[in-house]
Chains A and B, each alone.
Chain A
């Protein structure tokens, strides 16, 4: 569990992340951690995000994962229709097993595609001091 969060007024713990959003303390592992608010910093996770946002690599990946879920659904429907229409009664096939397999596949593919898309495109733009100041001056004017 994350125990407490402090304001990032102190100097950052991580040298590659000069701007920190919050500082957390894990009570489970007794380690401090920082939430980096700087998407251009060279933290490993931000580096991965930067790679995936380059030239639509992440978008292509999300689309391929989602298409795999659609393929699993179509394969299930076609397989069931074919079995009922053409092969019914000739041999035993576990209906529940094929449905369960397709559902697990779809869940895994859609879940990973959703999480990836949320990580890549769902983050709000970081609020910097300059932007809040400019917002305040525009309101005053």
Chain B
């Protein structure tokens, strides 16, 4: 059995590239969201443990900066837009 690589690659290279760009953009946006969420959770949990359950030990607290958040969000949005442009090009080519 032979697998026709060339036609498969020709058909799916552009959609896969668009999907990959969208995925990288989503990943960056979710990474940007994850940092403040983790900071909020660990700070809240740390405060709770410090106040009520001090014998459990310390909770490792994380922090997040607005600058890093905005930069990550901007990078993610740019990647998503590039992915959408690639997807729009694929959709137009298909028509």
Contacts and interface: CB of A to CB of B under 8 A. Distances in A.
B15 A57 contact: yes
A100 B41 contact: yes
A12 B78 CA distance: 33
Contacts of A112: 26, 30
Contacts of B59: 94, 96-97
Contacts of B11: 55
B76 to A, nearest CB: 12
A108 interface: yes
B33 A94 contact: no
A55 B14 CA distance: 9
Contact of B23 (A56, A65, A94): A65
B19 interface: yes
Contacts of B62: 97
Centre residue among B14, B20, B91 by max chain A CB count within 10 A: B91
A113 to B, nearest CB: 9
Interface residues of B, number: 29
A87 B89 CA distance: 51
**For this complex, into which size category does the number of interface residues on chain A fall?**
20 to 34
A79 B38 CA distance: 19
A54 B91 contact: yes
Interface of B: 11-12, 14-16, 18-20, 22-23, 26-27, 30, 33-34, 37-38, 41-42, 45, 59-60, 62, 84, 87-88, 90-91, 94
Interface of A: 47-48, 50-52, 54-58, 60-61, 64-65, 68, 94, 96-97, 100-101, 104-105, 108-109, 112
